[in-house]
Amino acid sequence: MFARNVSIHLKPNSAAAFTKQIENETIPTLRKQKGFQGELTFLVQGGAEAIGISLWDKEEDADAYSRVGYPEVMNNLNKFVEGTLRFKPTRSRIRRSTKSP
């Protein structure tokens, strides 16, 4: 499993509309992507920054989304972004534990 991490600086007073956009448009778009497993979105207290973590079956699925789906998603979220996105999302391999508690 792979995770993609993105950090975005939000415009003032846009946290509620940003959250609504994630729920109503971004998540449904992600669900259509091959290998998508889930999305975690966090807002820093005060709503000045958002952190998104998307989970993918394979590295190839995360890479394909980076090329095809991510630009569309960011285009839809740009109205909430303060300045420009100055860094690329990072990816991490996630290892599942085989031991049960």
The model carries a pTM of 0.78
- Angstrom distance (rounded) from CA 64 to CA 43: 26
pLDDT of residue 92: 58
Pick the CATH number of 2-86 from 3.40.50.880, 3.30.70.980, 3.30.70.100, 1.10.10.2840: 3.30.70.100
Which residues are CB-neighbours of 91 under 8 A, at least 6 positions away?
2, 3, 4, 5, 59, 62
pLDDT of residue 86: 44
pLDDT of residue 72: 87
pLDDT of residue 27: 94
Give per-10-residue mean pLDDT for the chain (101 aa): 88 93 94 95 90 92 89 88 60 57 52
Beta strands in the chain, from DSSP E residues, in sequence order: 2-9, 36-43, 49-56, 90-93
pLDDT of residue 47: 86
Query: With contact defined as beta carbons under 8 Å apart, do 91 and 62 qualify?
Result: yes
pLDDT of residue 74: 86
Residue whose structure tokens are 């497993």? 37
Tokens of 87: 């860094």
What's the DSSP call for residue 11?
P
- Angstrom distance (rounded) from CA 57 to CA 25: 21
Tokens of 7: 């950090």
